[in-house]
Amino acid sequence: MTPDLAELAAELPDGALLTDPDRMAGYRWDRANDPAAGVPLAVVRATSAADVQAAVRFASRHGLAVVPRGAGSGLSGGASALSGCLVVSLERMRAIDVDPATRIAVAEPGALNAEVKAAAAEHGLWYPPDPSSYEICSIGGNVATNAGGLCCVKYGVTSDYVLGMTVVLADGTLVELGGPRLKDAAGLSLTKLFVGSEGTLGIITRVVLRLVPAQRPPCTLVATFASLDDATRTVLDITRTMRPAMLELMDRTSINAVEDVTKMGLDRTAEAMLVVQSDEPATHGVAEITEVTALCQANRSTEVFSTDDADTGEAFVLARRMVIPSLERQGSLLLEDVGVPVPELGALVRGIEAIAAEHVITVAVVAHAGDGNTHPLIVFDASDPDETARAQAAYGQIMDLAIGLGGTITGEHGVGRLKKEWLPAYLGPEVMDLNRRVKAALDPQGILNPGAVL
Residues 219-278 contacting its own copies, CB under 8 A: 236, 239-243
Stretch that binds its own copies, among 30-38, 50-58, 157-165, 386-394 (CB under 8 A): 157-165
Query: Between residues 190 and 382, which has the closer beta carbon with respect to its own copies?
Result: 190
* Helices and strands (H and E) in the chain: how many: 15, 18
- What is the per-residue binding string for its own copies in 37-76, x denoting contact by CB under 8 A? ----------------------------------------
Least distance CB 443 / its own copies (angstroms): 10
Are 161 and 127 spatial neighbours (Cβ–Cβ below 8 Å)?
yes
Query: Between residues 337 and 353, which has the closer beta carbon with respect to its own copies?
Result: 337
Least distance CB 205 / its own copies (angstroms): 14
Indicate whether 373 belongs to the interface with its own copies (CB under 8 A).
Answer: yes
Indicate whether 153 belongs to the interface with its own copies (CB under 8 A).
Answer: yes
Provide the CA 378 distance to its chain's centre, in angstroms: 17
Are 276 and 313 spatial neighbours (Cβ–Cβ below 8 Å)?
no
Indicate whether 152 belongs to the interface with its own copies (CB under 8 A).
Answer: yes
Total residues interacting with its own copies, rule: CB under 8 A: 91
Beta strand pairing call for 86-89 and 66-69: parallel
Applying CB under 8 A, which of residues 148, 346, 376, 451 lies at the interface with its own copies? 148
Least distance CB 175 / its own copies (angstroms): 5
Helix (H) or strand (E) holding 260: helix 252-262
> What contacts 9, CB < 8 A, 6 or more positions away?
17
* Helix pair angle (252-262, 310-321), 10° resolution: 110
Phi, psi dihedrals of residue 280, rounded to the nearest 5°: -65, 155
Are 273 and 266 spatial neighbours (Cβ–Cβ below 8 Å)?
yes
Indicate whether 415 belongs to the interface with its own copies (CB under 8 A).
Answer: yes
Are 408 and 426 spatial neighbours (Cβ–Cβ below 8 Å)?
yes
Indicate whether 180 belongs to the interface with its own copies (CB under 8 A).
Answer: yes
Applying CB under 8 A, which of residues 41, 201, 223, 304 lies at the interface with its own copies? 201
Task: Count how many Cα atoms sit within 13 Å of the Cα of residue 196 in the half-sphere of its side chain.
Answer: 18
Applying CB under 8 A, which of residues 117, 375, 417, 439 lies at the interface with its own copies? 439
Indicate whether 122 belongs to the interface with its own copies (CB under 8 A).
Answer: no
Applying CB under 8 A, which of residues 113, 256, 326, 410 lies at the interface with its own copies? 410
Residues 83-102 interacting with its own copies (rule: CB under 8 A): 100-102
Applying CB under 8 A, which of residues 20, 22, 186, 265 lies at the interface with its own copies? 186
Indicate whether 343 belongs to the interface with its own copies (CB under 8 A).
Answer: yes
Indicate whether 381 belongs to the interface with its own copies (CB under 8 A).
Answer: no
Provide the CA 274 distance to its chain's centre, in angstroms: 21
- Say whether 384 sits in a helix, a strand or coil: coil
Q: What is the CA radius of gyration of the chain?
A: 22
Applying CB under 8 A, which of residues 87, 151, 319, 423 lies at the interface with its own copies? 423
Are 134 and 165 spatial neighbours (Cβ–Cβ below 8 Å)?
no
